[in-house]
Amino acid sequence: MAIVSCPQCNKQISDKAATCSHCDVELNKQTAESIASAGRVKRIEQAQSIQTQTFIALILFVGGFSLWYWQDTLDDQWYNTLGQGMIAVGFIWYLVNRIRLMVLKRQK
C-alpha cells in the first residue's frame, strides 16, 4: 500500500482507496486525461489568485505613495509613516507574488 496524492484536492490518500476521504471524488472513474485536465485547471486557478494578489499589492503601493506625497507637511505626521509602510509592504508583496508566479509557471 502506497500513499499518493488525490488528483482533485492534492491531499495524501492510499493508492487502494476507491474514493478520496477528503473531497469524496471517485478515484476508480478517473482517467489520465481527466487527471491532467484537473491539474491544468488547478494551475490556472492558482495563477489567477496570484495575479489578483499582485494587483492588490500594486494598489497598496500606489495608495501609500499618494498618501505619503499628498501634502507637504513635516515627516513626523502619522500618515507619512503609514504611507511609507504601505509602500514597503506593497512593493515586497508585489515582488513575492511575481516570484511565486514564475515558480508556478515553471512547474509543469
> Is the dihedral angle over the CA atoms 14, 17, 23, 29 positive or is it negative?
positive
Q: Is 90 exposed, middle or buried (0-12, 13-18, 19+ CB in 10 A)?
A: buried
The string of pLDDT tens digits covering residues 44-57 is 999 999 999 999 99
Place of cell 476507491: 18
Cβ of 4: how many Cβ atoms within 10 Å? 12
The string of pLDDT tens digits covering residues 21-80 is 888 777 777 776 777 787 788 889 999 999 999 999 999 999 998 888 876 666 677 888
Nearest-angstrom CA–CA distance, 99 and 80: 29
Lowest mean pLDDT among 5-9, 42-46, 97-101: 5-9
